[in-house]
A and B are shown apart, each in its own frame.
Chain A
Amino acid sequence: MRGRGRASAALAVLALAVLTASVTVTHAARLPDWAQPIAAAPPSIEPGISRHDGRVLFRERRIEVQPDGTWIERVRVARQALTTRAGSVAIDYFPFNDRAKIKVSRAWHQPPGERAERSGRSSQIDIVADDAFITDSKRRVVGMVDVRPGSLVFFEFEAVVEPYTLATDEIFADRGPIAVARLEIVTPPGWTLRSEWLHHAAVEPSRSGTTTTWEMRDLPDDDDPPLAPSPFETAPWLVVAFEPPAGTSTRAAPASDWPALADWFLKLAAGTDEVTPEIRAAAERATKGARTVPERIHAVARYVRDSVRYTARLVGIGGYRPERAAETLRTLHGECKAKAALTRAMLAAVDIPSYPVMVNLSHRATVAEGIALLQAFDHQIVAVPLAAGDAAAFGPAVAEGGELGRLAIVDATDEYTSIGWISDDLSGKRALIAAPARGRLVNLPGRRPQDHRVERRIAGELRSGNTVALELTTRYYGAPAVYERRRERTGAVDRRKEQEQALHEDWLDARPERYAVEAETADGAFVETLAWTMPVVQPAGTPPHLPVFAGADDGLPRPQLGKRMVPVWYDYPRQLSTEVVLRGFPKTAVPPASKAPSADGWSSTVSGSREGEEIRARWVLVLENTDYPVERFGDLKKLYGAASTASSAMISWGQ
């Protein structure tokens, strides 16, 4: 079940605070049978201070599938505290909602050298599990107090679960390294299992009768530095589908394949995109003046994006079934599914067909190709089939849909991404197009460097009095545009102040003279113009000079690599370019020398020339490859060195 990974730090703090504040009653007790062998021979704690506050000695999740497709789920965890900061060892949780009924939630604590004690009812709380405005997603949290180095804490949960589909997943990761992790599935006679691994080579299960068990040992817990993949993206992830014998009726839908899941969703959502008179009227108002299909698509998407505020209400089946489009139009608030349904309804009102699309906004590589797992997705958008010739109006946001043709990808939930562009959260993700009877997985676009680019143009002039007048125009596209647009709309005054301060840091003595922003141009750019004057840069002991590419490499974060043992992942490929045109400089002013270092996955090209009275310089940095394992850090170092070298290029001239 999703959520077996790490609890958020805030959740852990809240839960521990509530548990500690309440009167926590424990009782002396005998450990359960499954815990006794662990307690009898716990591993010793190594001297020194562990990087981890605790480790998982044993974790087992057991699913006993019932003939009607519900199941009884039991989780057992044994944790060992390794440091005095073992708050995260002292608590564990079981995620649930209205589809699960918890039967058992208990904990035991075996302090080193002391008798075991068991949790009382006061040691458990239910807390809301996510930050949706209204949600029924909860966590049953159980905890023990006075946990210290060497303490063993055992947890057991059991619940009756009614899933939506006959599939589950298990991420083999936790808070700390894991000695033994196990997924055990018991099926009724005649049922079969299919499984698939993500991020890991397949591990063969052991089988005994109707029980199938996967076990993994000695799983590490990686560090979490900047630009690192999350455990959801690297930990072994097992996806399992349960298949009843043919003709069996179950309360949960089968997860046979992706087209079947798409149809399940379409059936669930049937009617929610109904075109009512109000929707038709709204669509006609929104598309007034639009002459072509792409223009109408843009108009509808912009209307939904800008008029409907994001407010998530995820209760019961509402976590999967969209709100009716008509209701979303009335309330002008909703979450991604509601906005997608309204988008589709309004498009239908102007005779443009579309499909709902399910995708994972938060993590990469969540889709098992052969098993339709509903929990692989956490977001919904829209795909619109395009006629030949219309794709150009959507730039990067066009996916190849196989037999569905070329599809415009529209995300009306994202308030800061221009229609026709793809955010970094969606770029390259595997998504399910819910086309009736033809549902299929596609790769979303947006993995080309030009899909996320920053174009800077600097025009400068040397004036009398040894003053330089410069004007910088920056055009952001794709993910960089989203970032800047969000900053601008959150606080335009603060953003301008930050930009002028950044100017001051890069170009000391700069005097801003003009500033302008266009948050969204017709081609989806965020454009910013800043003009300033400054005295010629001439620190003591050096000739006058002008750094031509100052700040141009800001769009390339560069983490420390030396001691790093986890890969570097950039969220998206990117292209950063700066073009400089200078006038009025002496003939002795030398443009930067051309350089073009490159390696597999990146390039950095600097060129400079003098053309009559103008000095021209250009730098283009292209990062095509986004994932660098440790063994490729040498390439990254070269990239960082090239970026530093280029950004320090200067034009200097004699007196």
Chain B
Amino acid sequence: MSTATCLARLPIGIAFLALIPAAAPSAAFAARDAFKVAPGPAAMSDEEKAIQPDPARGAEHGVILVEETDRNDNLGRWMEISFHQRAKILSNEGRRLADITIPFDIDADQLSQWWARIILPDGKVIEVPKEELTEQAVVKTRGEEYKTLKVALPGVVPGAVIDYGFTLRTMEFLEPDTVWLQREWPVQLLRYRWAPYARLASGYLCRRIAGLDVTPTVKDGKVVIEARDIRPVPDEPMMPPRAESKASAVFYYHPSELYAEEYWDAIAKLVELENGFFLSKAAVNELVERAAPPAGEAVTPKLQAVYDWLGANIEDVTTRTMEAEELAGRAKDRREEDTARFVMQKRRGETFQIAQLFVGAARKLGSEAWIALAADRTENYFNRALLSLRQFEWTLVAVRAPDGPQDRFVILAPGSGLPYGELPWWLTGVDVLVAAKEGPLPVRVPASEAPDSVGTTQAKITFSPEGDTANVSWTTRGTGQHGYSRWRALRRMKPDERERKLLEICGAAGDLEISDARAEGLAEIPATERISCTGELLAANVEAGIARYSFAIGGPWIPALPDLHPGPRRFPVVFDFPSTERTTIEVEAPEGFEPDEAPPAARLGTVYGSYALTVTRTEHGFRVERELVLPRPHVPAENYTGLVGFLDHVRRGDATMLPFQRKAEGR
């Protein structure tokens, strides 16, 4: 998915790894230029008066007319922040804009400037002096107190304009943050200026600003972002993560003055250095010996053996079962060391430690192997222009074995519980950063294929003799990514939590009483999940005297479809992973009934997927066989209508009713 970004490394002076307080603030503190945060006019303009609620354009409760922030980190011991917001209130719900909290730990005497005014629809102006600010203690600890300043602006009614701002100085270092340009309210003008501390390397990055009126400029060591007429963007189901769908500007410091290539080069070197500290010859030798790789020249089978041994014998503490965690928690020896020797000795480690161990063993076996850093794509994608390690959540391994493809890496996830070559789905479909010898390389990790992630469900439904209820039972097994994240989550739950979650998975509700819900295979590696559900449908509605009876095949034994419905779509639809679902349902005829003619088969194949439903009459009832394949990891917004049309076809098929007729007398 492409993006338009603005990015830059700010041309700052010599890099330092720590803050070095400078002398008293220089003339820069006193000098002001055209960007001056100041109160807005004390009267409503004609344009402001004309603004009315327009829910269709996101202006239902309020409009941000102006928001300005001027942050100066370059004042020696001080940091100065000036803020101004002017907003029009359009509804009662919008009045909450008038409950103001200054979100910093400050006292009122740290405010060098404050103003607030309310311009009522009739033109009257209410001024709110600084004395009306109330200090609200938030946390007090060890003699230090963290406070905010608050005020509820008076007299605010729909149609009013509020205009407030402040300037504060603080000696506290505040980490620069992300500024969201697209928000809950429309924004007519947003300006943000940042003067970073001169003795730290810094940078900024604009994301998702394509098509928006967003202009960044850099001058005299300061960056100014100006955004105009930004409309809110409502969330949509199955959309990319917020960081990848809504416009934002990210400001940050990083530890040295480097361009992007140099930064990632330094990171790659650091990763390798850490590997060196972690690994030891003895630990690697022990690992290789215990893995007992097959003899022969081929390296890949040896890597696989090491991979499998690690999965079976070294517990990844981030995915250990709750039972294992409890046992470990009661152990007397709670010492921890960040060394390969310790991990091998204790047979447990963090994900990144297991990855490092695998790297060591792979190299010993003759393969290239490097650490690969991965982002969780449900949170954000890896962005090379953002010089920050905070975008990564996972540590993987990239290998290039002599007997494998030489033009690309194979990315592995040791310790994940997945088979060799498979990765958690949330790390696929995007780039990872391989800390390779030739330099850090972004490598695209493809999504898995639908045939690799198969959910297979077998269900059986029988009716009570009275026909008022039906007994249902089904078992679902998954391969590949199917059920994988659920497997991870269930492992980490306590037994009672697990039981509640399983009831939920089995669709327990008032109409369907689940008497038994189990998950098997939670302790197995590779990840294996089998969910079994047994229950009773409370209202089967087989009534006395009726000649015909129809039973709907739908229920929690058929996995839920994506919650996508007709309507406009802005964002692509992002699936967790391509998948195949196969369901077989055996439905026995109610007492006194026999199956009528089976409904015709339904079949559809499109670019969005394929669906097949076959109903076969059996001696005792019907067998329903259903297959749904969703092969695409994502669907562009312009194809949304087609996708929904396909899913509606599936819904129609899943609404199939099985017809039964009462047996003739004597049968």
A residues bordering B, Cβ < 8 Å? 18, 22, 48-51, 83-85, 112-113, 121-122, 124-128, 133-135, 138, 148-150, 223, 225, 306-307, 309, 311, 313, 330-333, 415, 489-494, 497, 500-501, 504-505, 508-509, 539-542, 556-563, 636-637, 640-645, 648
Contact = CB atoms under 8 A, between A and B. Distances in A.
Contacts of B514: 560, 562
Contact of B326 (A133, A149, A541, A641): A149
B509 A560 contact: yes
A408 B28 CA distance: 65
Contact of B659 (A491, A542, A563): A542
B513 A558 contact: no
A561 B328 CA distance: 35
Interface stretch (B139-147, B218-226, B280-288, B578-586): B139-147
Given A333-B154, A539-B599, A501 B565 contact: yes
B140 A125 contact: yes
Nearest to A556: B510
B655 A133 contact: no
A223 B497 CA distance: 11
Contacts of B137: 126, 128, 138
B452 interface: no
B612 interface: no
Interface string B432-449: 000000000000000000
Nearest to B235: A494
A225 B500 CA distance: 9
B55 interface: yes
B154 A309 contact: no
6 contacts: A48-B495, A49-B323, A83-B494, A133-B152, A331-B154, A492-B60
Interface in B639-664: 648, 651-652, 655-659
Interface stretch (B87-95, B109-117, B242-250): B87-95
Contacts of B329: 83-84, 148-149
Contact of A311 (B152, B535, B648): B152
Contacts of A330: 154-155
A490 B93 contact: yes
Contact of B142 (A22, A313, A491): A22
Contacts of B600: 540-541
Nearest to B539: A644
Given A508-B651, A541-B659, A148 B539 contact: no
Nearest to B499: A563
A306 B56 contact: no
B188 interface: no
Contact of B657 (A333, A501, A541): A541
Contacts of A494: 234
A150 B234 CA distance: 49
Interface in B395-423: none
B240 to A, nearest CB: 19
A405 B110 CA distance: 57
B550 A542 contact: yes
B325 interface: yes
B648 A509 contact: yes
A225 B496 CA distance: 12
Given A49-B322, A637-B513, A22 B141 contact: yes
A558 B510 CA distance: 4
B3 interface: no
Contacts of A489: 91-93
B567 interface: yes
Contacts of A509: 648, 652
A539 B656 contact: yes
Contacts of B469: 641
Given A331-B154, A332-B155, A560-B509, A645 B541 contact: yes
Interface string B509-549: 11101110000000000000000000100110100000000
A494 B567 CA distance: 12
Nearest to B322: A49
B508 interface: yes
Given A49-B495, A501-B565, A644-B511, 11 more contacts: A18-B139, A50-B494, A127-B139, A148-B329, A149-B329, A333-B154, A491-B60, A539-B655, A540-B599, A562-B514, A640-B511
A563 B503 contact: yes
B520 to A, nearest CB: 18
The 4 lowest CB-CB distance pairs between A and B, nearest first, are A558-B510, A541-B599, A84-B329, A644-B539
A358 B274 CA distance: 64
Contacts of A505: 565
B656 A504 contact: no
B598 interface: yes
A113 B332 contact: yes
Contact of B539 (A501, A559, A645): A645
Nearest to A121: B142
Contacts of A127: 138-140
Contact of A560 (B326, B508, B657): B508
B515 A541 contact: no
Contacts of B140: 125-127
Nearest to B94: A309
Contacts of B136: 128, 134-135
Contacts of B60: 491-493
Contacts of B513: 560-562, 637
Contacts of A122: 141-142
A50 B508 CA distance: 24
Contacts of B96: 309
Contacts of A637: 513, 538
Contacts of B567: 497, 500-501
A125 B139 contact: yes
Contacts of B156: 309, 332-333
Contacts of A223: 496
B464 to A, nearest CB: 12
Interface string B21-57: 0000000000000000000000000000000000110
B619 interface: no
Contacts of B93: 489-490
Contacts of A560: 503, 508-510, 513-514
A50 B509 CA distance: 26
B468 interface: yes
B539 A309 contact: no
B315 to A, nearest CB: 14
B667 interface: no
B134 interface: yes
B272 interface: no
Nearest to B651: A508
B651 A500 contact: no
Given A492-B55, A645-B541, A149 B330 contact: yes
Given A540-B602, A644-B538, A148 B330 contact: yes
B99 interface: yes
Interface string B64-103: 0000000000000000000000000001110110110000
Given A83-B494, A493-B55, A306 B92 contact: yes
Given A22-B141, A508-B652, A541 B322 contact: no
A648 to B, nearest CB: 6
A411 B99 CA distance: 22
Given A125-B139, A493-B60, A539-B599, A648 B539 contact: yes
B655 A508 contact: yes
Contacts of B658: 541
Nearest to A502: B565
Contact of B510 (A50, A561, A645): A561
A95 to B, nearest CB: 15
Contacts of A640: 510-511, 538-539
B596 interface: yes
Interface in B362-398: none
Contact of A126 (B139, B495, B511): B139
B269 interface: no
B554 to A, nearest CB: 11
A556 B328 CA distance: 45
A542 B552 CA distance: 11
